[in-house]
Structure 1
Amino acid sequence: MSGIQINRRTVFGLAALAGAGSARAQTGQVGLGSPSLVFGFSGRAAAAGRFADRHGHEKQLADFRGRVVLLNLWSSWCGPCRIEMPSLDRLAAAFAGELAVLPVSFDGRGWPAVDDFWGNRFANLTPYLAKDNALTESYGALGLPFSVLIDRTGREVARLPRAAEWDRGAYRSLIAKTVLTQR
C-alpha cells in the first residue's frame, strides 16, 4: 500500500483541476491565500435545478434570468459555508437590485437546520432549500460551499469550489464587472 493519503479535500481538488483542464480552463489567482476562480466553464448555460423558498414555492435559476446571479450551494453543518455567509450578505447589500445572491441549502433536516443557523443575521439574503441533488450533480460539486456566478443571459461566468470573502478583492471586482457590462 502506498503512503499517499487521499482525503475529501484532495479528491475535490483533483476533480476540480481535471474538470477545469478538460475544458481548457483559465484560472486566476485572486490574492494571497485566496482560492482561484475557475473560468473554464464560462459561457455554458447555467445548470437546471429546483429549489424552494420558505413557503414551498418551487424556484429555478431561469426564474432569475435578467439579473446577475451568484448561486451559493451550502449547508448549515458546513463550517466554511457558515464563515462565508456574512460576506455574501454584505455583497447582496452592495449590489442590491443588480445581483441575486441565491444561498441554496442542502440540509437534510430542512428548514429547521437552516433556521437554527440563519436566525435574523442575514438581512440581505433569502435562503432557499434544494429539492434534490440536481444542482450539485450538474455542476460536479463534490463538496460545499460551491458557488457559480451567472450572467443576465443565464450563462456561467465563473465558479468557485470553496469558501471566499465575496465582498472583497477580485471576487467583488468580477461581480462588479459582470453587473456593469451587462446593464
Structure 2
Amino acid sequence: MRKMLLVALYTAFAVGANAGGANAGGANAGSLEGLLTGDMKKLALVAPVALPEAVLLDGAGLETSLAQYKGKWVVLNFWATWCAPCRKEMPALQRLADAMPKIAVVPVATGRNDVGQIVKFYAEAGVTSLPVLRDPKSALAHQMAVLGLPVTLIVNPEGEEVARLIGDAEWDSDEAQAVLKAMMAE
C-alpha cells in the first residue's frame, strides 16, 4: 500500500511537473520564479520529498546507492543509451559538472543498459568525469514515477527531491546555473 501511495504521489508530480514552472510551492518557489526562463521554464519546484532507498550498480557491477551524495546538492538524471534526447542532453550535464563542481551531477542509466554501451555512449558524448550508475530493473525509476526519459531531479543536501524537469535541457546554460546557484544559496 505504501509503495502504491508513493508511486501515486510521484506520478502526480510527474504529470503536473512541467505545466506551470514554479507551481508546487517549495520553500524557494517565490524567489526562483523569475529565474525560470529558457529550458528552466520546464522545471517544476516541488515540496521536498525524500528519495527512496534503492540499490544501483556501478560500472564494475558493484552495488551502490545515492546515499553517497547526501550532504551535497545533486542533479540526478535518469537516462538510457537508446534515448535520443538523452544523447543531446548528456554533454550539457558534463559541462555543468565541470562548471559547478560543488554540485554532484549523477546520471542513472535506467532499464537495460549494458556497461559497454554506456562507456561507448559517454565517449561519443564527450563525458569524461560523470559516474557510470545503472538501475537495471528500473526499480528506482519506478519508485520515482519516472515515466519517460530523460527526467532530471534536483536533490537537496538532505536527500530530498525539490525540483523535477521532464525532457532534455541545456543544464550548462546561464539560466540553469542561475537557478542552481539560487537554490544552493537558500
TM-score after normalising by structure 1: 0.78
Count, aligned residues: 166
Gap change, CA 1:71 and 1:172, over 3 Å in 2: same
Deviation track 1:109-155 (CA, whole Å, cap 9, x = no partner) reads 41122122112721231221114222211221110001111011111
1:86 aligns with 2:91: yes
- Aligned counterpart, 2:4: none
Match of 2:146 among 130, 141, 152: 141
Structure 1: gaps (5+ residues): 1-11
Q: Which amino acid aligns with 2:128?
A: A
Match of 2:78 among 70, 73, 85: 73
- Aligned counterpart, 1:8: none
- The question of whether the paired residues in 2 share the 8 Å contact of 1:30 and 1:37 is answered with yes
Gap change, CA 1:16 and 1:84, over 3 Å in 2: same
- The question of whether the paired residues in 1 share the 8 Å contact of 2:77 and 2:107 is answered with yes
Gap change, CA 1:15 and 1:118, over 3 Å in 2: closer
Distance 1:128 1:18 in 2: 25
Structure 2: gaps (5+ residues): 1-10
Following superposition, the deviation at residue 105 of structure 1 comes to: 0.7
Higher helix share: 2
Q: Secondary structure at the match of 2:131?
A: coil
Following superposition, the deviation at residue 34 of structure 1 comes to: 5.6
Q: Which amino acid aligns with 1:73?
A: F
Gap change, CA 1:68 and 1:102, over 3 Å in 2: same
- Aligned counterpart, 1:102: 106
Distance 1:178 1:35 in 2: 15
CA RMSD across the alignment: 2.9
Match of 2:129 among 113, 124, 142: 124
Q: Secondary structure at the match of 1:44?
A: strand
Distance 1:18 1:163 in 2: 14
Gap change, CA 1:110 and 1:156, over 3 Å in 2: same
- The question of whether the paired residues in 1 share the 8 Å contact of 2:71 and 2:157 is answered with yes
State the percentage of identical aligned residues.
32
1:25 aligns with 2:18: no
- The question of whether the paired residues in 2 share the 8 Å contact of 1:76 and 1:107 is answered with no
Q: Secondary structure at the match of 2:49?
A: coil
Q: Secondary structure at the match of 2:163?
A: strand
Q: Which amino acid aligns with 2:112?
A: G
1:49 aligns with 2:54: yes
Q: Could you say which structure has the larger radius of gyration?
A: 1
- The question of whether the paired residues in 2 share the 8 Å contact of 1:50 and 1:132 is answered with no
Give runs of ≥4 in structure 1 deviating > 4 Å: 18-21, 26-29, 32-35
Gap change, CA 1:15 and 1:124, over 3 Å in 2: closer
Gap change, CA 1:113 and 1:19, over 3 Å in 2: same
Distance 1:159 1:127 in 2: 21
- The question of whether the paired residues in 1 share the 8 Å contact of 2:18 and 2:43 is answered with no
